[in-house]
Chains A and B, each alone.
Chain A
Amino acid sequence: MASKKPDRDAVLDATDFLHREALALDERRFRDWLDHLTDDIRYIVPLRVTREGQADWEVSPTSRIFDDDKQTLTLRVERLETDFAWAEQPPSRTRHYVTNVVADPGEREGELLVSSNCLIYRSRGDSVEPNLYSIARKDTVRRVDGGLLLARRYAVLDQSVINGHNLSILL
């Protein structure tokens, strides 16, 4: 549990960081997006499972939709730069709505634990039905050389059965 509240500036900085990071994704500046990540990033999207109220977990401890590090996230971005990333050809239009930002001191000096809600609107082609992904994020944001970088993303979708025919976007 957090020992003391981080100062207001730190919270504002973290919020600003998340907004800029989301903007890079929505503007499809994927190389810029990679620059928002530390080299030791862990990027995890676990699976949610519908279970009874008394069950010991609802978010699977073992099953993951994304289980990435800097190398594999870079691979995903390199892939998008080829002419053969058919799933994003033509590209999805995404809009990340980041709200309810709560920042607490992280485990290490210079780190913040940032919880946020993220709603992603995704439109593809001429389809009139968008995909909506509602996500609870628990990020670790680290201060490096005066700026902030994302060191860990743990993003849990609110749906247990996902209604998008593929997940070719970043959350």
Chain B
Amino acid sequence: MATKPIGAGVEAGLESIRDGIAQGRFPARVFNDQEIFDIEQQRVFSKAWCFLAHESEIPDRGDYVTRYIANNNLIVARDESGEIHASLNMCRHRGNMMCKSEMGNASHFRCSYHGWVYKNSGELVGVPYMKEGYEGRIDKRDWGLIKVRTQTYAGLVFGTLDPDAPPLDEYLGGFQFYLDLYLKQGNSGSEVHGPPDHWVTETDWKIAAENFSGDGYHTPVAHQFGFNLGYFASSGATHSQGWAASIPGKGHGIGLGHTPGFPPFAGFPEELADEMRRSLSPEQVEVFSQTRTAVGTVFPNLSFLMQPFSIVPGQTGVRFVTMRLYHPIGPGKTEMYSWCLVPKDASDEYKQEAYRAYTLTFAQAGTFEQDDLENWARVTRSAGSTMARNIEFPYVMGMDSVRDPDFPGPGHVVKPYVNDSNFRNLWSRWSDYMTGQV
């Protein structure tokens, strides 16, 4: 995709942002700025691997969901042979939208304007007045829906608009080690509990992506009520102990909260913990058994959180996983998608319990989600002000921290999880894209 030429001043500005990150500085304005947003659409979202859907959302042939990469609406469909395709949701004849629903099942899509018909794989198969009108001037093979390259990892379907993007495995760069905690809960892996919560927020996607890449710092304050009422399996003092792990040069990061004395795999049903002990690598077992909270972001805009929560104060409760996609729809404006992932093999009872814990805490009416969004909306608003154009934030926490030599997981791993190292890595990757290095 061609990069739009922009003013030299802007290019120099982006370079200086990039330099600032190395010194632990990042400007406020990037979190709410039209110019930054426009460049992001072109340079980040047109090149990165972007999350589209979880395979369990489209389990059967013909199942589809519609999702976005940047402002491009895509159909993500499972074809009649079970293969997954992502196609631009736009008729090749005059551009009408093919699927107007968020999800459904169809073997074919018939355009409601002039009636061109495509298979769910995107192939054009029907053109009214083919002989009389086009007199052989249309070869159907040339006019299928525009394809978007997809690859999957452990149930996650990603797409990229860049035909030259490196393979997904390389893009994830070792972060799979940590993603397995969310995606390989038991032998059969994880599945979505149902369609995602979907709402519009006054938040820049980057604020959410940063928070979920391991902000252990905000929890004792932003979510104080949970400690205050005793609903947390940790205290304000212990909550943010643990590790911050990031994949250098890739932007992905995860915070791993660990409470001393927290029982291994606490909050998982016993059978499931046993399965995980067998199916994960010994290194993963070592890390995950001591992980209480895991909150991570796959660059650019896919995040996860796993946390035990009990509706009875003082008890460990159940582990729930939320997976969220921050779809940028404008500077400082984001469409949120939030799913609850549950272990496929778990009992219905456990799935229900985990789902209820999710709705109470991190769905759009969740008690934690509410407070995060309140804060993020204010951050967004501040970042858009004229004075904020020249204000930088400090990203110097843990600037000189060295890798924990005893930690068995990959990447740059430092203690404690109150640390800016994941964020510096995230924004330095973002800068790589913004300055055209990727």
Contacts and interface: CB of A to CB of B under 8 A. Distances in A.
B370 A161 contact: no
Contact of B104 (A52, A65, A79, A164): A52
B369 A166 contact: yes
Size class of the A contact interface (CB-based, 8 Å)? 35 or more
Contacts of B311: 71-72, 75
A99 interface: no
Contacts of A89: 374
Given A49-B103, A87-B371, A62 B364 contact: no
B250 to A, nearest CB: 30
B128 interface: no
A1 interface: no
B429 to A, nearest CB: 27
A85 B101 CA distance: 36
Interface string A82-117: 101111110000000000000000000000000000
Interface SS, B side: mixed
B14 interface: no
B222 interface: yes
Contacts of B356: 67, 72
A79 B225 contact: yes
Given A76-B367, A82-B228, A167-B364, A60 B194 contact: yes
Interface string B287-328: 000000000000000000000000100000000000000000
A165 B223 CA distance: 17
Interface SS, A side: mixed
B402 interface: no
Contact of A165 (B101, B225, B373): B373
B203 interface: yes
Interface residues of B, number: 40
B285 to A, nearest CB: 31
Interface string B347-368: 0000000011001100111010
Contacts of B370: 85-88, 166-168
Contacts of A164: 199
Contact of B199 (A61, A72, A161): A161
A169 B418 CA distance: 31
Interface of B: 100-104, 193-203, 222-225, 228-229, 231, 311, 335, 355-356, 359-360, 363-365, 367, 369-371, 373-375, 377
25 contacts: A47-B195, A49-B103, A50-B100, A50-B102, A51-B104, A55-B104, A63-B193, A63-B195, A64-B359, A67-B356, A67-B360, A68-B360, A75-B367, A86-B374, A86-B375, A87-B371, A160-B102, A160-B198, A163-B199, A165-B201, A165-B373, A166-B369, A166-B373, A167-B364, A168-B365
